[in-house]
């Protein structure tokens, strides 16, 4: 039995430090396990620009060839482009070699089924883990007859996105864009050229060592360069993407990071004016303003557990119009119910341009509440259940939920405390009607968590 580090199996994908935790042998065997559980006859294969992605990609390709299946070889791609190809080719599933927003020393595999349905916790990941950790691994096989298909998928993907807009949707708008040396740096110039968008590029060169900053737009420190760039070049808005291009972040015309709750709110308001009554998903960590905006505009707000695999499963089941996580994953019905970072950015740009307002003025009506996110180191996951039980007893008069961790809601404040699915931390989110109440309740809950 091959030794595979069990820590690489995450809630959403397979990820670890290369080559100590994730390596070519693991990638080779994971590909075989995926083909087995999907009974796949066709798989889409892609990779990002990390130095370790090419050897892992070759290992997966060798494994798939041995399985004697049809392989759609995409090569370099963003995760959304790869998922577009799964749907375009009606493949049985897919594998992309990427560690998304993680630093350069990490790598991993994202796995999808038909229609790019996520394979994660509760949707196949446990089965793959069991095959790889507890069952006899298949011997190396001689390659059976296989088929490799290569096309200009980049052009097809760009055409698919661009046909949803007109150049006049963006006339007069100047945007600054930080590709973070990630995969969107390959795609954005083609889309912007086709739509005649005036853009100012920052860190567009593909470089999986991430020489300027981590490609994670959910962290404000990674938006500083973009914020300064927006101010220096007097852009109308700044847009940033993560390493594999499935997450998006924004800064306003003053270079200030924009909370994704406000992006969700303006998208919801705009959507429901055109599509009244639509269902829209929101993150359980999202501000109250998101569900209030959806309700006030005649939509149906549906709460979802944090995590892109959970979002993608629920948005498809509910046939919801869109859903955005606070981390910047936005799934759209018009994009196969999966992450569509570039498409989301284009919609936001169009809204700004058509409004004739500054982005900060568009967001102002949604800034009603005050919130804080606090990460807390927590390495012993087995003790989390007991900790939650203890805290819950202190808030029995609240509206309680156990969708993920513990949420307690009062008329003028609420909190959620949950285990991270990707890091050894507890994530605490507190929101209140006033900054004074927020500060008081944050201190109160932190004390209970650390006692």
SS3 31: helix
Nearest to 239 by CA among 302, 160, 178: 178
Place of tokens 């560690």: 99
Q: Which of 42, 100, 218, 287 is catalytic?
A: 100
Nearest to 341 by CA among 191, 220, 221: 191
Phi, psi of 197 (to 5 degrees): -90, 135
Phi-psi region of 185 (alpha: psi -120 to 50; beta: other; left: phi over 0): alpha
Distance (Å, rounded) from C-alpha 48 to C-alpha 57?
9
100 is catalytic: yes
Q: Considering just the CA atoms, what is the radius of gyration of the chain in Å?
A: 22
Q: Which helix (H) or strand (E) holds 198?
A: strand 198-202
HSE-CB at 85 with a 13 A cutoff on CA atoms is 28
> How many residues belong to the chain?
451
Distance (Å, rounded) from C-alpha 49 to C-alpha 449?
40
Q: 94 forms bridges with which residues in the sheet?
A: 44, 112
Distance (Å, rounded) from C-alpha 340 to C-alpha 324?
10
- Cite the active site residues: 100
């Amino acid at each position: 039995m091959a030794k595979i580090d069990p820590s690489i199996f995450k809630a959403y994908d397979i990820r670890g430090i290369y080559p100590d935790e994730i390596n070519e042998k693991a990638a080779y065997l994971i590909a075989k396990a995926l083909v087995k559980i999907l009974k796949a006859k066709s798989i889409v294969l892609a990779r990002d620009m990390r130095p370790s992605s090419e050897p892992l990609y070759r290992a997966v390709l060798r494994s798939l060839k041995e399985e004697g299946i049809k392989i759609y070889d995409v090569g370099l791609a963003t995760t959304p482009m790869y998922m577009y190809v799964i749907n375009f080719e009606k493949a049985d599933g897919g594998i992309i070699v990427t560690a998304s927003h993680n630093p350069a020393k990490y790598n991993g595999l994202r796995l999808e089924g038909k229609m790019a349905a996520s394979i994660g916790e509760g949707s196949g990941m446990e089965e793959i883990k069991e095959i790889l950790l507890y069952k006899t691994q298949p011997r190396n096989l001689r390659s059976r007859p296989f088929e490799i298909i290569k096309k200009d998928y980049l052009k097809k993907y760009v055409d698919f996105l661009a046909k949803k807009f007109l150049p006049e949707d963006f006339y007069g708008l100047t945007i600054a864009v930080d590709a973070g040396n990630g995969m969107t740096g390959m795609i954005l110039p083609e889309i912007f050229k086709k739509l005649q968008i005036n853009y100012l590029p920052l860190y567009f060169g593909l470089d999986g060592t991430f020489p300027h900053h981590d490609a994670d737009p959910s962290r404000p420190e990674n938006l500083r360069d973009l914020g300064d760039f927006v101010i220096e070049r007097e852009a109308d808005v700044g847009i940033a993407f993560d390493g594999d291009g499935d997450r998006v972040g924004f800064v306003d015309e003053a270079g200030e990071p924009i909370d994704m709750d406000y992006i969700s709110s303006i998208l919801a308001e705009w959507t429901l004016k055109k599509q009244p009554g639509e269902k829209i998903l929101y993150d359980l960590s999202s501000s109250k303003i998101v569900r209030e905006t959806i309700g006030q505009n005649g939509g149906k707000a549906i709460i979802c557990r944090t995590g892109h695999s959970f979002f993608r499963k629920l948005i498809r089941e509910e046939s919801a119009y869109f859903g955005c996580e606070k981390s910047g994953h936005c799934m759209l019905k018009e994009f196969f119910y999966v992450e569509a970072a570039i498409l989301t950015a284009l919609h936001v740009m169009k809204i700004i341009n058509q409004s004739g307002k500054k982005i900060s003025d568009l967001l102002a009506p949604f800034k009603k509440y005050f919130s804080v996110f606090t990460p807390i180191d927590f390495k012993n996951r087995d003790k989390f259940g007991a900790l939650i039980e203890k805290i819950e007893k202190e808030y029995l008069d609240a509206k309680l939920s156990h969708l993920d961790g513990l949420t307690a809601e009062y008329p003028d404040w609420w909190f959620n405390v949950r285990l991270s699915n990707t890091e050894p931390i507890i994530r605490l989110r507190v929101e209140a009607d006033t900054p004074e109440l927020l500060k008081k309740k944050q201190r109160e809950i932190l004390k209970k968590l650390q006692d």
